[in-house]
Amino acid sequence: MRLRPLIAGNWKMNCTIEESLNLVTELLELTKDNTSTEILITPPFTSLQKVGELIKDSNIRLGAQNMHAETNGAFTGEISGKMLKSVGCEYVIIGHSERRGLFCETDKIVNKKTHSALRENLKPIICVGETIEEKEAGETLTVITRQVSRALEGFDSDLIKDITIAYEPIWAIGTGKSAAPAEAEEIHKFIRGLLSELFGTFADVVRIIYGGSVKADTIDTLMAEENINGALVGGASLNAKDFARIANFS
């Protein structure tokens, strides 16, 4: 079964409110005829409400780059899923390698955030991936198995349909390097098999997307692979023409 592709832009810590609105205004025009792909953008927290108002009733969905596992409380500087939902977010990225590496997020934290996101009716995009050291040591599949399994502990099969897995090899993020399409497909196929072991046929509706230096000139070959259901795009999502080309892949 061919799933509807998801092309998601992770803006990271970039764009003021004005810059965000300018970027989205251009993107809306460039993707207005695209009905075959689900397009998602995740601006910084400060831009979410204004961007959400601008893309309301359009073909572009709104998401956030992170969230706290608790609904409210004494967590200075944090944002809850309930807050994200209130400004129109439908998706949230969880467990990005920069969150894991720079902010010490563990598999347990990723699991708690995923449970919290679904309670708030947010669709989590769970990021998994190996470092260059793990890749060179032949540990890629072990790392992926651990990260996926622990992220999804305690889930019933009927909740899986709202989860997306993003395979982002850490060695490819922001480096200009990218996994070859066949290499990425191999890992995506492995993740699909792992999900099938955990959740049976429910795994067939889970989108598995690729991230790691995705560019306009590489998207077509990536999306030609059977088990690659979309892309999580970093730097290229900050350029409306580049991101539109990725979203409008052929």
Catalytic annotation on 115? Answer: no
Q: What is the dihedral of CA 20, 26, 27, 32, to 10 degrees?
A: 140
| 136 burial level (CB within 10 Å; 0-12, 13-18, 19+) | exposed
Instruction: Determine how β-strand 38-42 pairs with β-strand 60-64.
Output: parallel
Of 38, 105, 130, 168, the active-site residue reads 168
Residues 168 and 74: their CA atoms lie apart, in Å, by 32
Q: How many residues does the chain have?
A: 250
Phi-psi group of 147: left, alpha or beta (phi > 0 → left; psi -120 to 50 → alpha; rest → beta): alpha
Q: How far is CA 239 from CA 20, 25, 97, 189, 221, in A?
A: 11, 12, 22, 30, 20
**3 state DSSP class of 36:** coil
Q: Which residues contact 104 (CB under 8 A, 6 or more apart)?
A: none
Catalytic annotation on 153? Answer: no
Of 38, 68, 96, 188, the active-site residue reads 96
| 244 burial level (CB within 10 Å; 0-12, 13-18, 19+) | buried
Name the β-bridge partners of 39. Answer: 7, 60
Catalytic amino acids? Answer: 96, 168
